[in-house]
Amino acid sequence: MAWLHLVMAVLAGFLLGGVFFGGLWWTVNKLDANTRPAPLLIVSFLVRTAVLLAGLYFLLDAGWQYLLAAMFGFLTARTVLTFKYKPEKKGQRA
């Protein structure tokens, strides 16, 4: 049954990564329309970091193995979102 908990930790890390990097993508897209981008960047960073640290804190309470599994999910989410939202090269369209 421990493997099921590890899989859930990976999924939790994937979700945390999706929230963190999805929020970063949303923030970067909103910068052009904003006349004062600094407060948006600061608040976005603080909220994303607080959510990430709270999630990792709860996972750490279960044990370091679950934290390691969640970090694997977090990095997997980063890789997936990077490929999904990578910028277009000049002269190419999707």
Domain span including residue 62: 2-84
User: Which of helix, strand or coil describes residue 84?
Assistant: helix
90 located within any domain: no
pLDDT of residue 91: 64
Q: Nearest Cα to 26, choosing from 89, 93, 81?
A: 81
From the list 85, 88, 77, 94, the residue with the least C-alpha distance to 15 is 77
Q: Is 92 a domain residue?
A: no
pLDDT, tens only, 38-86 = 999 999 999 999 999 999 999 888 889 999 999 999 999 999 999 988 8
Is there a contact between 18 and 77 (Cβ–Cβ < 8 Å)?
yes
Domain count across the chain: 1
- Whether 29 maps to a domain, the answer reads yes
